[in-house]
Amino acid sequence: MSSYLEASKQAYEQAETDADFIRLEKQAFIDCSSDSIDYAVMEHTDNGVVIPLNVGWNDVGSWSALWEIGDKDDDGNVITGDVLAQDSRNCYLRSDSRLLATVGLEDIMVVDTHDVVLVAHRDQVQKVKELVNQLSGEQRKEIDIHALVHRPWGSYQGIDRAERYQVKRITVAPGAQLSLQMHHHRAEHWVVVKGTAKVTCGDRTFLLSENQSTFIPIGQQHRLENPGK
């Protein structure tokens, strides 16, 4: 147990702050053995207790588990998002951004996210881990780079990118702000598509409303805030 504790303490004490996150020291975190909390902690303590509790329990460890606990329609489908299901039964159908249409499916999982579309039989979803291992082995960018990324202040979504540009949709929560930052190798163009933006650019602070824009030069300190509701 002491080895887990020492590795955890070292990972935290040598952590680095990265704008919105505390990033644990990588090697110390890796050195901490991958074991369950039962083996690593509970079997070694005299300060734990167990009490009976009569509630339902599901680890929700797979997409099929979400079907099991979800609210089903008359055909046994669990549907999330913009989904049109025709002659489909006992399916888990989820779309995060666009219309998902199915015809004649049974016991199938269809999950359409900003990153990837997964189609699998309900009895085979445990093999998703094998797909992840394959992606990792092929060093696919989807392992580390996600189209929609959540941050404490909101989120951003990659729209398009090429060698000399990238386009993002940034959503800032009411009252939230990004950290004050500066870029040495890129300039930025900001266009407000909804709401009001409070912009800090160098020694200037000003408001932008819908359809207004501003330019952030290379090397200029800047910050984006949402002062609205």
pLDDT bin (cut points 50, 70, 90) of residue 48 is: confident
Which is higher by pLDDT, 37 or 112?
Answer: 112
Residue 5, pLDDT score = 84
Report if pTM > 0.75.
no
SS in 3 state form for the chain? Answer: CHHHHHHHHHHHHCCEEECCEEECCHHHHHHCCCCCHHHHCHHHCCCCCCCCCCCCCCCCCCHHHHHHHCCCCCCCCEEECCEEEECCECCEEEECCCCEEEECCECEEEEECCCCEEEEEHHHHHHHHHHHHHHHHCCCHHHCCCCEEEECCEEEEEEEEECCEEEEEEEECCCCECCCECCCCCCEEEECCCCCEEEEECCEEEEECCCCEEEECCCCCEEEECCCC
Which is higher by pLDDT, 20 or 114?
Answer: 114
What number of other Cβ atoms are within 10 A of residue 112's Cβ? Answer: 20
pLDDT bin (cut points 50, 70, 90) of residue 79 is: very high
Is residue 19 scored above 70 in pLDDT?
no
- Which domains does the chain show, CATH number per domain? 2-44 (no CATH), 63-137 (no CATH), 148-225 (2.60.120.10)
Q: In angstroms, rounded to a whole number, what is the distance separating the alpha carbons of residues 142 and 122?
A: 23
- 20-33 tens-digit pLDDT: 678 899 998 888 88
Is residue 2 scored above 80 in pLDDT?
no
Beta bridge partners of 87: none
pLDDT bin (cut points 50, 70, 90) of residue 1 is: low
Virtual torsion, Cα 193, 197, 203, 204, nearest 10 deg: 80
Task: Specify the range with the lowest mean pLDDT, choosing from 8-12, 100-104, 204-208.
Answer: 8-12
